[in-house]
Structure formats: C-alpha cells, structure tokens
Structure 1
C-alpha cells in the first residue's frame, strides 16, 4: 500500500454480499444454526455471526493473497473500482 500510495481500501458491495452468502451457506451445513442450539454467537434472527464456518487453514488460504479487483482502492497513484 505504501509503495502504491494507496490511502484507502474498501471492499466492493457485490463482493461483500457474495461473501456473506457463502458464509451463511456454509453455516447451514453445520450444527450452529440448528433450531435446538442456543449459542452466544447467534443473533436475534438466528444468524450465526461470531465464528467462521471454515477451518483456520482454509480461511488463511482464502485470504492470504488479496484479489485487488474485489476492492475499491484510492490513492495518489491508483484509483481502481
């Protein structure tokens, strides 16, 4: 970011929406959203919000290298939306 003089980074709305859809789909395959479960990380709408549905190593692989096209980058040298 410093080399490219990027001053701000924001995820695109469509990318955020898709990520949340994938999180919810993965959680639906696990025990946490089961109606009989009462756990602290479900909100009032029974959406699991405080844990990742993926193993740590899988999440690390997903996020290790950013896909810059998924972001709005702003800076003196770059403007990508």
Structure 2
C-alpha cells in the first residue's frame, strides 16, 4: 500500500520554500519566528503531495519533526503557535 502526505499551511513571505509554517499565535505573538516541518531531516514542501513509501504488515512510521525557524533578522519574545492540517492518502 502506497502512502502519501500533504501538509497545508501558510508560509511567511521571508521563508517561502523552507517548510516553515507562519506563527498563528493570537495573543502576545513572537515576531521573526515560525515552525519548520521536516521529513527525514529535510523541509516539507507545504501544499504539495509527496509519496512517503509503502506500508508493510499494516505498519508505517512517519518521521516528521518540527523546530523553530528564524524568519527575520530580529526575533521578539512571545507566543508561537502553528497548527495545520495533515492529509494522508492510503
């Protein structure tokens, strides 16, 4: 069974193409920072379906990680929130 993934999300203008989700915090929002999604330590291309591989015996590990990513030369303290939809196709 082939498995595909798509992550939909808005990228900050200063970090397009790096898999960085915009900071969506509503109160006391940090500036100059977003959240970068990685698949096998490589940036996820947002809003694009990618084939992950095949599942055998009904098991599949999804090696996604997230980290803070500086989007501007200056960062200000505050809240960081980045929630997005993940779509898996089996």
Q: TM > 0.5 between the two?
A: no
Greater share of residues in helix: 1
TM-score (norm 1): 0.23
